[in-house]
Amino acid sequence: MAGDEQQQQAPLHVVVFPWLAFGHLIPFLELSKRLAARGHAVTFVSTPRNVARLPPVPAAGLSGQVRMVALPLPAVDGLPEGAESTADLPPEKVELLKAAFDGLAAPFADFLAAACSADGRSGELERRPDWVVLDFAHHWLCPIADQHQACISLNHGHGSKRCGKDAFIYLQLSSWAFMGMFSSDLTT
């Protein structure tokens, strides 16, 4: 029993991979900072331009805990060069961004395979990921994570329209419960 308690208290390595919209990137970055503040290692995955445009992670104890990984967004016919988020596009071109995003499946699979290698090291990673926190658009990520036996937390914001706001909040909070996110400082 004591071993179980120690295992539950051990810091986690969480990979965070939001959809390519700043309404998703910023909250997921905030989640990453809060996880890092609790002692967990976080790998935040996005595209090079989005990583460059995100606010910096405060150096006071967090920057060493949050590692940014930039996966190049594949070119798609009709998608303007340099367009890596919904902020870069008119609404009628977002489908092109989704198509390019789907092209991140292979690079993400390579990243996760390296991160989950036998020794658990990939470049600067000190251990294999315990969790992959993903967003709504990652239909291809679950099989990749399953192949590498990585646990997934799916945060599907549109679920609130199908199952009611309270159910969505419960699902979101319960998915964060494993990380100790139920304290009063969650909203501060």
Catalytic residues: 24, 135
- Work out the number of other CB atoms within 10 angstroms of the CB of residue 155: 21
CA dist., res. 15 & res. 150, Å (int): 10
Amino acid at 100: A
The residues, ordered by sequence, that sit 6+ positions from 46 with a Cβ below 8 Å of its Cβ are 17, 18, 20, 25, 54, 68, 69, 70, 71
Quickly count helices (H) and strands (E) in the chain.
8, 5
Backbone angles phi, psi at 3, to 5 degrees: -65, -35
Instruction: Write out the H or E segment, with its range, that includes residue 151.
Output: strand 151-154
